[in-house]
Amino acid sequence: MNSQTEQIRTEARRLLESGEVSVVIGYGPGSTPARATPVFVRSAEDVDRLFWSPACAQNLALYVREQAGRGKVAVVAKGCDARSIATLIQEKQIRREDVHIIGVSCSGVVDPGRLAPAGLDEGTLKSLAAENGGLKADCGDGEVPLEREAVLKRACLFCDTPVPPLSDTLIGEAPPLQPAADQTLPEDLDARREFWAEQFSKCVRCYACRQVCPACYCKECFTDRLPVGWVSKRIAGPENWMYHTTRAFHLAGRCVGCGECERVCPAGIPIQTLMRRMASEVDALFGYRAGMDPDAEPVLATYRDDDEGPAE
Amino acid sequence: MTTKVPPSEHRCVRLTESDLDKLLPKTALKDWLEWASTRYHLLGPVEAEDGSRSFAAVSADRLPALDNRRQCASPKEAVLPSCETLFTFDPGDGQPRLSPPGGEFAPTLMVGMKPCDVRSLEVLDRVFLDGRFQDPYYAGRRKSLVTVAYVCESKRWSCFCSSVGDPIEWSLAADVALTDVGEAYVATANTPAGEELLGCPAFRDVSADELATRDIVWNALRERAEPFDPEKVAAGVDWEEPAWDAIAEKCIGCGVCSFLCPTCTCFDIQDETIAGGKVERYRVRDTCQFCDFTKMGHGHNPRPSRRERVRQRISHKFKYIVHQCGICGCVGCGRCVELCPVNADLRGVLSEIVSGNGCESVSA
C-alpha cells in the first residue's frame, strides 16, 4: 500500500468517525491496475475501499455538486479537481463549509485508452505506481518505467497545478515536473478550420464530455432544448461544430483543464486543445485562471468599467 | 410481448458439404482482398493515427488489422448509421411530394469482425427484420452485407463473450470465419456466399494438422471466464435490485455504453426544415441513458433518475429482449467495460445481481 492510500484512509476514518462528514467520495480499484472507479464511503468500517494510484483519473468534483444540500461531504481531489471545486464554490453551486477537501499532490494520471497504442497489454498489467514524478508498471516481467508522454491523460502533460491550491488536508509534495509546451495549431485560419472540422466530424454526440465535466452543470443543456432549437440532434459536421464551440465558449474562464472530457471521448477529439486555447485567451485578457481562488469573482460573470476591450 | 420468432432465413442457409475449410496463407490475404474487391466494397478494422480502431475501407494496400484488439465503434454503423434520412417532403405548388432516399446499397464485405460483432448483427436482425415489421432501411443495408469473421486468438481482459454464449457458434454464422493457425488462416465457409469467396485462387487445401490447430484456438475461446450466466442474470434482474443504486451513484449519464454497444438500437426521429422549404425526416441515435429519452410531451418522465435508466439498459439487455426476441442482448464485446468514463464494469454489476454480494468490480 502506498503512503497516499494510507493517509487517505486515515483521514477518511477520522472524518466519518467524528461525524464531520456523511460520505467520503474517493477512488477505489477498477477493473485493471490502470483503472480506478469512484467510490462513496459512508462508514468508517469501509474506508479500506479507498485507494490512491496513478489510475485515479476521474474528477470527483462532479459528485460533490450532486451531493450539494445533503450535508457536508469529503472528497479526494487532485490539483485540477480542487480547482473545479473552487470554481463550483465561486459559482455558488456548493458552499465552502460543505466540503472537506482531501487534497493529493499528483504527478499525472494514466489514460487507459492510451496503453494499447503505446504497446502495453492492459490485461497483463499487475501493478502501476508513481515514483518521483515518473511511472512504473509491472506487466508480469517485473517493474519497468513507463514513458509519461505515451500513457498519461494528455491534459496532465500540461498541468501546472500538481498540488491542490485549495484543500483541508494535503497529502504528498509537489512532484519535480514542468508542464509541457502546448500543441500549436496551424497559424492559417483556413487550415485551422479544416483541422477542427475534421475533429468534430468524428463526434458521436454521446455527450460524455459534457456529463463528465464538473463545470457543465446546467439543469438543461442548450443541446437538449429541442423545442427552442439551438442546435439540432443531427449527428453531422455543422451540428457537432455548434455543440463543441458553444460548449467551449460556455467554459471559457471556467474550465480548469482536468482533461476528463478528452480522456473519455470515444472518438478521440482533442477537446483540451480548444479549452486550453480559451483559457490562455482569458488569462491574457484578464489575468485570470479558473479555480485558483474560491473567493475570486468568476471572471466572465463580472463587469468592471476599466476592463480593457479586445485589441483592435 | 411478442412471441419468440425464428431467425430470418436469408442469413441461416448452412452448407452441408464437408470441404468447407480452406487455408489462406497470411501473405495471400492481400490477393484475396484484391480478388474480392471486384465484387464487393470492402470494410475492415483500420487503425487511426492515435491508435484507435474503426471499421473503414480496406483494400489490398490497406489491410484490415486482424488481431484481438477491438474497434471502438461497432459494426452497427454499417447497417444502422448514427444518423440517416428517412425521407424528404416537398410541399410543392399544391403537389406535395414525399421522396425516400434514393440509391442502391453496394454489396459490402466486412472483413475481420470479431465473433461478438457477428453475433451483434444477429441481435439487430431480430429487432429490425424478424418482428411484425421489417425496417426497410436496415434491411437494405443488411442484405447487401457479407461477413468475414476473425476468430480472436485470445480474449482481451475486458471480453466476456463465452459467458453470454458460444463465440465459435457465433463465428459460424458469418459467411466465412478465419482462424489464425500461425502462418495462415483456416477459412471456414458457412454460406453459399462464403463458399463463393473461398473460390478465390489464393486459398489452398487445409491439412488435418491445421484443422487441429484451429480447434485448439476454438476451444480456448470457448472457455468461460466470468462467474455469471445470462440465464441467472435474467432470473435475478429485479426492479428493486440494490445493484442499481450502486451503479447509478457513479454513472454520469452519458451515452458511451449504448452508442458504442453493438446491439443498442434506439433512435429518435426528427423533422427539420431544409433548403427550398422542404422538410427532412431523419433518425438519429438515441439512448435510454439520456435524461430526456422518456420525457413525454406533457412533461412527465417515467424514468426520472439514473437509477431507472441504468436499470432499464441492463434489464433490457439481459431480460426484456430475451422475452421479446429470444436472444440475449449482450454479446460480451466489452466495449462498455473499456470505455465507461467511470469504470462501472458491467461484469461486476452482473456478478452482483447473480450472487447478491456487493462487489465494486471484477478484480477488486
| A63-73: pLDDT as tens digits | 999 888 888 99
For residues B185 and B152, is the Cβ–Cβ distance under 8 A? no
Is pLDDT at B263 greater than 60 in this prediction?
A: yes
Q: Which of A58, A117, A210 sits opposite B50 (nearest CB)?
A: A117
**Does B256 lie in the same domain as B125?**
no
Name residues whose C-beta falls within 8 Å of residue B355's C-beta, 6 or more positions apart in sequence. Answer: B227
Q: Are residues B248 and B205 in the same domain?
A: no
A19 touches chain B (CB under 8 A): no
Q: Return the pLDDT at B231.
A: 84
Residue A292 C-alpha, separation from nearest chain B C-alpha, in angstroms: 25
Position with higher pLDDT, A123 vs A183: A123
CB contact under 8 A, A58 and B339: no
Give the contacts of A4 (CB within 8 A, at least 6 positions apart). Answer: A52, A104, A171, A172
Chain A residue whose CA is closest to B284: A234
**Confidence grade of residue B297 (pLDDT, cut at 50, 70, 90):** confident
Residue B358 predicted with pLDDT over 50? no
Q: Answer whether A36 sits within 8 Å of B343, measured CB to CB.
A: yes
Residues B122 and B189 reside in one and the same domain:
yes
Q: Are residues B251 and B314 in the same domain?
A: yes
Are B200 and B245 in a shared domain? no
Residue A311's pLDDT is what? 58
B51 closest CB neighbour out of A117, A204, A205: A117
- Average pLDDT value for chain A: 93
Looking at CA atoms only, how far is residue B344 from chain A in angstroms? 7
B218 and B235 belong to one structural domain: no
Q: What grid cell was written down for B248? A: 447509478
Q: Could you tell me if B36 and B87 lie in one domain?
A: yes
Q: What pLDDT digit, counting tens, does each position of A160-174 carry?
A: 999 999 999 999 999
- Closest partner residue to B364 (CB to CB) among A29, A235, A264 is A29
Closest CA to B349 of B316, B306, B294, B310: B310
> Number of H helices and number of E strands within chain B?
15, 11
Is B8 a residue whose pLDDT tops 50? no
B46, B252, B298, B347: which to substitute to probe chain A, counting the most A Cβ within 10 Å? B252
Give the pLDDT score at B226: 66
Cross-chain CB nearest to B282 (options A30, A39, A234): A234
pLDDT band at A84 (very low <50, low <70, confident <90, very high): very high
Q: What is the CA B9 to chain-centroid distance, rounded? A: 19
Tell whether B132 is covered by a domain.
Answer: yes
The answer to whether residue A33 scores a pLDDT higher than 60 is: yes
With respect to residue B82, please indicate whether it lies within any of the assigned structural domains. Answer: yes
Q: In degrees, to the nearest 5, what angle opens at C-alpha A120 toward C-alphas A118 and A126?
A: 145
What are the sequence ranges of the domains in chain A? 3-301
Mean pLDDT of A260-282: 94
Q: Is residue B80 part of a domain?
A: yes
Distance CA B191, CA A96 (A): 66
In chain B, whose CA is at the least distance from the CA of A62? B252
Q: Is residue B118 part of a domain?
A: yes
Confidence class for position B356, pLDDT limits 50, 70, 90: low
CA distance, residue A305 to nearest chain B CA (Å): 40
Q: Search chain B and give the residue with CA nearest A32.
A: B363
B chain contacts of residue A267, beta-carbon cutoff 8 Å: 72
pLDDT higher than threshold 50 for residue B4: no
- Residue B16 is assigned to a structural domain of this protein: no
Last residue of one domain, picked from the residues B222, B242, B267: B222
- Give me the mean pLDDT over the B146-171 stretch: 94
Query: How does residue A136 score in pLDDT terms, banded at 50, 70 and 90?
Result: very high
Pairing of the two strands A143-146 and A134-138: antiparallel
Nearest CA in chain A to B83: A235
Instruction: Tell me the per-residue pLDDT of A179-208, one tens digit each, with 9 for 90 and over.
Output: 888 877 888 999 999 999 999 999 999 999
Are residues B290 and A207, on separate chains, in Cβ contact within 8 Å?
A: yes
**Interchain pair A31, B285: CB under 8 A:** no
Residue where a domain terminates, one of B222, B245, B260: B222
Q: Closest chain B residue to A114 measured between Cα atoms?
A: B51
**Mean pLDDT score, B100-117:** 92
Residues contacting residue B277 through CB under 8 Å, at least 6 positions apart: B90, B91
Residues of B whose CB is below 8 A from A235: 82-83, 284-285
Q: Is the CB of A263 inside 8 Å of chain B's CB atoms?
A: yes
- Number of domains into which chain B is organized: 2
Residue B275 structural domain = 230-355
Whether residue B3 lies inside any domain: the answer is: no
pLDDT at B364: 33
The beta-carbon neighbor of B360 closest among A37, A234, A235 is A37
Q: Are strands B108-113 and B41-47 parallel, antiparallel or unpaired?
A: parallel
pLDDT (0 to 100) of residue A228: 83
Of the partner residues B69, B268, B290, the one whose CB lies closest to the CB of residue A116: B69
Q: Which distant-in-sequence residues (6+ apart) come within 8 Å of B66 by Cβ?
A: B29, B45, B112, B150, B178, B180, B185
CB pair distance less than 8 Å for B337 and A31:
yes
Mean pLDDT of B264-278: 93
State residue B72's pLDDT score. 78
pLDDT of res. A302? 87
Give the span between the Cα atoms of A165 and A167, in whole angstroms: 7
Residue B7 lies in a domain: no
Of A119-128, B92-101, B176-185, the one with minimum mean pLDDT is: B92-101
Which is more confident, B350 or B37?
B37
If asked whether residues B78 and B153 sit together in one domain, one would say: yes
